[in-house]
Amino acid sequence: MVNKKLCLVSLLAVSLVAAPSFAETKKNTKKPRAKPAVTAPARQPQPKPSAQTPPPVSPAVVAPVAAAQAAGVPFETKARSAFMIDLSTGTTLLDKDADRPIPPASMTKIMTIYLLFDQLKKGAITLDTTFMVSEKAWRTGGSKMFVPLGKPVRVEDLIRGIIIQSGNDAAVVVAEGLGGDEARFADMMNRKAAELGMKNSHFLNPDGLPAEGHVMSAHDLAILALRTMQDFPEYYHYYSEQEFVFNGIKQGNRNPLLYDVAGADGLKTGHTDEAGFGLVASAVRDGRRLIMVITGLANMKERSEESRRVMEYGFREFETVKLFSTGQTVDQAEVWMGQASHVGLLADRDVILSVRRDERQNIKATTVITTPVPAPIAAGTPLATLKVSIPNRPDMTLPLLAQAPVDRLGFLGRIEAGVVYLFSGAPAPAAQ
Q: Residue 30 to residues 62, 320, 366, 383, 402: CA-CA distances in angstroms? A: 20, 21, 11, 18, 17
Gap between the Cα atoms of 262 and 286, Å rounded: 11
How buried is residue 378: exposed, middle or buried, by Cβ count under 10 Å (0-12/13-18/19+)?
Answer: exposed
Which entry of 96, 109, 144, 322 is annotated as an active-site residue?
A: 109
Which entry of 15, 88, 134, 166 is annotated as an active-site residue?
A: 166
CB 206 within 8 A of CB 107: no
Gap between the Cα atoms of 262 and 272, Å rounded: 28
How buried is residue 207: exposed, middle or buried, by Cβ count under 10 Å (0-12/13-18/19+)?
Answer: buried
Active-site residue flag, 106: yes
CB 227 within 8 A of CB 236: no
Which entry of 15, 81, 88, 106 is annotated as an active-site residue?
A: 106
If we measure between CA atoms, which residue out of 230, 244, 112 comes closest to residue 165? 244
Dihedral (Cα; 424, 428, 429, 432), 10-degree rounding: 140
CB 330 within 8 A of CB 41: yes
C-alpha Rg value of the chain to the nearest Å: 30
Active-site residue flag, 81: no
Active-site residue flag, 166: yes
Positions marked catalytic: 106, 109, 166
